[in-house]
Copies of this chain bind each other. A is one copy, B any other.
Amino acid sequence: MYKDQIIIDGLQYCNWTRDYFKTLQKSGITAVHVTLVYHEMARETLTNFAKWNTLFEQNHDLIMRVDGVEDIVLAKKLGKVGIFFGAQNCSPIDDEIGLIEVLRKQGLLIMQLTYNNQSLLATGCYEKNDSGITRFGEQAIKEMNRVGMIIDMSHSAQKSTLEAIEISTRPICISHANPNFAHDALRNKSDEVIKALAAKGGLLGFSLYPFHLPNGSKCTLEDFCKMIAKTADLVGVDSLGIGSDLCLDQPQEVLEWMRNGKWSKAMDYGEGNASNSGWPDDLPWFKDEKGMENIYNGLMKYGFNEKEANQILGGNWFSFLQSGLEPKN
**A interface residues with partner B (beta carbon < 8 Å):** 42-43, 46-47, 49-51, 53-54, 57, 60, 96-99, 101-102, 105-107, 329
| Oligomeric state, in copies | 2
Q: For residue A42, which residues in chain B have a CB less than 8 angstroms away from its CB?
A: 43, 46
| Minimum CB distance partner of A147 in chain B | B53
Q: For residue A329, which residues in chain B have a CB less than 8 angstroms away from its CB?
A: 57, 60
**Bound-state Cα–Cα, A265 to B47, Å:** 31
**Bound-state Cα–Cα, A43 to B92, Å:** 11
**Bound-state Cα–Cα, A47 to B46, Å:** 13
User: In the bound complex, do residue A102 and residue B98 qualify as a contact, i.e. CB atoms below 8 Å apart?
Assistant: no
**Bound-state Cα–Cα, A96 to B54, Å:** 13
Q: Which of B50, B97, B101 contacts A102 (CB 8 A)?
A: B50
CB distance from A214 to the nearest CB of B (A): 42
**Bound-state Cα–Cα, A46 to B41, Å:** 12
CB distance from A16 to the nearest CB of B (A): 15
Q: Which of B46, B50, B98 contacts A51 (CB 8 A)?
A: B98
Query: Can you spell out 21 A-B residue pairs with CB atoms less than 8 angstroms apart?
Result: A42-B43, A42-B46, A43-B43, A46-B46, A46-B99, A46-B102, A47-B96, A47-B99, A50-B98, A50-B101, A51-B98, A53-B98, A53-B101, A53-B102, A54-B98, A57-B329, A60-B329, A102-B106, A105-B106, A105-B107, A106-B106
CB distance from A266 to the nearest CB of B (A): 30
| Minimum CB distance partner of A53 in chain B | B101
Q: For residue A98, which residues in chain B have a CB less than 8 angstroms away from its CB?
A: 47, 49-51, 53-54
